[in-house]
Structure 1
Amino acid sequence: MSDFATMVDRYLAVWNESDPAARRAAIDDLFAEDVRYVDPLAAVSGRAALTELIGAVQQQFPGLKFTTGGLVDGHHDQVRFTWNLGPAAGFDVAELDADGRIRTVLGFLDRTEGLS
């Protein structure tokens, strides 16, 4: 996938999708079956585990939505981007597989104040 900005928009839309069935369908479309997601607070593998993680994050921070935090930077099969979640912010690096699906996400938290 050469349009990294669109991929990031789709990625954040998955994290913001509150309907579990719609979220799972979007995950199946965007992520590799064996996706690996790692950040300082979580480490999961597979679409089902990612679906559960996103649902748990939504329960922990009801009403908050992920937004892009700035420029999307990508080359070859990797992209990095910043995001905001209310007062929190961080950045992720995603690696795509040969089919253009996300196979790995490495997340970093830059600002966590205001989240409980």
Structure 2
Amino acid sequence: MTDADPQDLADRYIAQWVVPEATARRAAIEQLWAEEGTHFLQPPVEIREIATGLGFDRSALQARGIDAFETRVARSHEQFVKEAGLTFRSGNDAVRLHDMVKFSWQTVSTGTGEVVGGGLEILILDEHDRIKADYMFPGA
């Protein structure tokens, strides 16, 4: 473990979601993530209810590895940033406890500046302070 600043890590994490250019986005992801890092997303309630109704007992979606996470970020950027005119920002409340960093984030309209959503992020870091597990809770 290093003494990496948790707020700096949170800010870089949020920034990767809004990088418009694919090569720069990939570079940002590679700097943050362990090669086999896993992103877990608690889906919205309606998706969890549909999954439960279909007999699924898991309530999390996941992307494992840098390539899968890059796809996740690219699609999120396309849908939320490019098409919906949204951006993301950190809640400036990042804290670190050993290998865990916790922070909140907000989804903001670029047109009005209005906060339209947000959530909670919990990152588990490896010995090089790269993300090995990311637990995302939208709406938290």
Which is further off, 2-11 or 58-67?
A: 58-67
Report the more deviating stretch, 58-67 or 85-94: 58-67
Q: Deviations over 1:21-49 (max 9, x none)?
A: 10101111111000100112331000011
Aligned to 1:99: 128
Is residue 69 of structure 1 aligned with residue 69 of structure 2? no
Count matched residues: 111
- 5+ long unaligned stretches in structure 2: 44-60, 109-115
1:44 maps to amino acid? A
The 2-side partners of 1:91 and 1:70 are apart by: 12
Q: Which amino acid aligns with 1:43?
A: Q
Query: TM-score scaled to structure 1, two decimals?
Result: 0.89
AA at the equivalent of 1:33: E
From 23, 26, 31, give the equivalent of 1:24: 26
TM-score (norm 2): 0.75
**Which deviates more from structure 2 when the two are superposed, residues 64-73 or residues 51-60?**
64-73
> 1:54 maps to which residue?
73
Contact 2:90 2:106 in 1 (8 A): yes
Conservation of the 8 A alpha-carbon contact between 2:7 and 2:92: no
Partners of 1:6 and 1:70 in 2: how far apart? 10
Off by >6 Å, runs of 4+ in structure 1: none
Aligned to 1:9: 11
Identity %: 31
1:61-115: per-residue Cα shift (whole Å, max 9, x none)? Answer: 123111012411211110100001120110010010001111110010116xxxx
